């Protein structure tokens, strides 16, 4: 037992370890094209046989070594592998491009090892989860998967709502590239906001194609390739989409995510695909962001419970109900048989003049207006974004005081309202430019006037979209999933804006290509709320039994 594994086990309150561990470093697993993949093997010092857990990741072997040791101490062989082009693995790192073939080669290598007994688990968050989906249809008969904050496809994550998640990818580039060099410096930048500050500075300059050099000091090949080949290209993304691999034959899957994770909606889609195929996956969603330490703790604990149940046949620590959700507002965990647990009631809240949000029918009124200037973009304040600081629930006072957006607020609630699922937006709007973004956020305002974001959604309109009468768009789009109770005397608040920078790349207002644009043009926006054009949000309201 190392000091690190003991500390992690105590901090995470893991089951007592069963044995010591023999760690074999500097293994080289051959990919199908001959590239050698850096691999480590953690073997339990316990009479066998034992199942195996595979983790393939691009962040350096040292970052997940302690977790590998922890799993091995509890009776599992663990294979930890650096993805192609990372750590000491050969080849060039091309995100998503080699995880299918390299993962299949690694499975073949595992099957040939004398210690492999036919039982294989896969585990890991984010990119590690995508690497699992890439091979999920090729796992042995007795297998299990524990996926966290991830998705079986990434096109919708790179280009959410038709925009570009530039903050995510520039921050991620800094993380991956930084871990190749000075890991301590990179960790320090994560904890001090250095990565977020560099991303903001880089995205305030154009063209975006050169942003890789601004954040890393050098050209990052895959970033340039995305700028040149990935935008609007079905041909680029189709082979990287593994959603078709999910189905009735997928091994048992445990999902873990957070209400403020930027991949939550895609994870819920993958969960729903398995449910529709007749499976009963486990689902845990907590009050977490993508990089929240509590999510990691929950992930490690539940991975052990899941693998014990599915690979060892010991379900004694597995919860009875497959779905466990944190309901914010109530600030309590609830367990259910499925997600969503009940069919929600669609509750309509209209935008009205004078900054009012109400269930009352709308009356004739002129539209509200605001201007968006990409030279001074509306900032991203909290929410489901990739950030080591500033994501999740954040006081919205700074955002709501700005003049480049609209704010609508309800009267204090007489009865509490619980929402569970997707909030939808129906917005009637017109812009002076055909290229305009729309960002809508729902917040909870308490008795003291503190406004905390619950969920939001984003949509990009371009000159390529079909013409509409009077140039007034009827925009229908979803906010990310939420589970929240608005308490009695709290108020609902909706913000309508045209940006959340640098979470989403600025809409320059022109038809210049995304990566090459250098011209910035301001837009004047009208939001309508009359009987012919009623703008509203649709709340998925549920009645939950009170424990």
State whether residue 29 is helix, strand or coil: strand
State whether residue 356 is helix, strand or coil: strand
Half-sphere exposure at residue 390, Cβ-oriented, CA atoms within 13 angstroms: 22
Mean pLDDT of all residues in 497-517:
97
Rounded Cα distance between 351 and 287, Å, is: 28
Mean pLDDT of all residues in 113-124:
98
Q: What is the pLDDT of residue 186?
A: 82
Give 275-295 pLDDT, tens digit per residue. 999 999 999 999 999 999 999
Q: What is the pLDDT of residue 155?
A: 96
Half-sphere exposure at residue 57, Cβ-oriented, CA atoms within 13 angstroms: 27
Q: Is the pLDDT of residue 182 over 80?
A: no
Predicted confidence band of residue 4 (pLDDT cuts 50, 70, 90): confident
Q: What is the pLDDT of residue 191?
A: 84
Predicted confidence band of residue 157 (pLDDT cuts 50, 70, 90): very high
Q: Which domains does the chain show, CATH number per domain?
A: 3-154+253-319 (3.40.50.1820), 345-541 (2.60.120.260)
Specify the pairing of strand 50-57 against strand 116-125: parallel
Mean pLDDT of all residues in 146-170:
97
Q: How many angstroms separate the first and last alpha carbons of the chain?
A: 41
CB neighbour list of residue 349: distance below 8 Å, 6 or more residues apart: 357, 358, 359, 410, 492, 494, 536, 537, 539
Weakest mean pLDDT among 214-223, 258-267, 270-279, 370-379 = 214-223
Residue 474 phi/psi, 5° resolution?
A: -105, 105
Q: What is the pLDDT of residue 547?
A: 55
| Residue among 70, 58, 262, 11 at smallest CA distance from 175 | 58
Give 229-275 pLDDT, tens digit per residue. 999 999 999 999 999 999 999 999 999 999 999 999 999 999 999 99
């Amino acid at each position: 037992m190392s000091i690190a594994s003991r500390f992690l086990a105590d901090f995470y309150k893991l089951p007592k370890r069963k044995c010591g561990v023999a760690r074999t470093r500097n293994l080289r697993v051959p990919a199908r094209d001959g590239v050698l993949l850096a691999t480590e093997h953690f073997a339990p010092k316990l009479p066998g046989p034992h199942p195996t857990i595979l983790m393939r990741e691009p962040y350096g072997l040292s970052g997940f070594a302690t977790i590998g040791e922890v799993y091995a101490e509890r009776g599992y062989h663990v294979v930890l592998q650096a993805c192609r082009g990372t750590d000491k693995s050969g080849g060039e790192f091309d995100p998503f491009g080699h995880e299918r073939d390299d993962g299949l080669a690694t499975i073949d290598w595992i099957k040939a090892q004398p210690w492999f007994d036919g039982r294989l688990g896969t585990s890991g968050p984010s990119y590690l989860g995508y690497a699992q989906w890439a091979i999920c249809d090729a796992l042995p008969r007795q297998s299990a998967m524990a996926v966290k904050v991830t998705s079986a496809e990434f096109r919708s994550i790179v280009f959410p709502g038709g925009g570009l998640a530039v903050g995510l990818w520039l921050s991620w580039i800094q993380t991956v590239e930084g871990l190749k060099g000075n890991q301590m410096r990179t960790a320090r930048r994560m904890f001090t906001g250095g990565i977020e500050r560099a991303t903001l500075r880089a995205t305030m300059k154009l063209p975006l194609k050169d942003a890789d050099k601004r954040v890393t000091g050098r050209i990052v090949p895959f970033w340039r390739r995305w700028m040149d080949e990935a935008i609007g290209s079905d041909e680029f993304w189709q082979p990287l989409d593994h959603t078709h691999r999910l189905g009735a034959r997928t091994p048992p899957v445990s999902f873990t995510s957070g209400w403020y994770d930027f991949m939550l909606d895609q994870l819920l889609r993958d969960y729903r695909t398995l449910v529709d195929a007749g499976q009963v996956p486990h689902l845990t969603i907590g009050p977490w962001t993508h990089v929240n330490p509590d999510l990691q703790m929950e992930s490690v604990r539940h991975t052990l419970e899941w693998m014990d149940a599915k690979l060892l046949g010991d379900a004694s620590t597995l919860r009875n109900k497959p779905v466990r959700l944190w309901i914010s507002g109530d600030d309590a965990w609830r367990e259910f048989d499925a997600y969503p647990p009940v069919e929600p009631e669609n509750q309509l809240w209209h935008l009205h003049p004078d900054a009012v949000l109400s269930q009352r029918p709308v009356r004739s009124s002129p539209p509200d207006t605001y201007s968006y200037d990409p030279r001074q973009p509306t900032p991203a304040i909290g929410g489901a974004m990739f950030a080591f600081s500033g994501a999740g629930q954040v006081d919205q006072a700074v955002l709501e005081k700005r003049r480049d957006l609209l704010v609508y607020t309800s009267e204090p609630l007489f009865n509490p309202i619980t929402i569970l699922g997707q909030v939808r937006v129906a917005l009637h709007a017109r812009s002076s430019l055909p290229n305009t973004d729309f960002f809508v956020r729902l917040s909870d305002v308490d008795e003291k006037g503190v406004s905390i974001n619950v969920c939001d959604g984003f949509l990009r309109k371009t000159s390529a979209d079909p013409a509409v009468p009077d140039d007034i768009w009827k925009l229908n789009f979803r906010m990310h999933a939420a589970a929240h109770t608005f308490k009695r005397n709290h108020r609902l608040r909706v913000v309508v804006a045209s940006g959340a920078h640098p979470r989403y790349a600025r809409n320059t207002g022109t038809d210049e290509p995304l990566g090459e644009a250098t011209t910035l043009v301001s837009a004047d926006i009208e939001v309508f709320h009359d009987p012919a054009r009623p703008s509203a949000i649709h709340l998925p309201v549920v009645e939950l039994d009170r424990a």
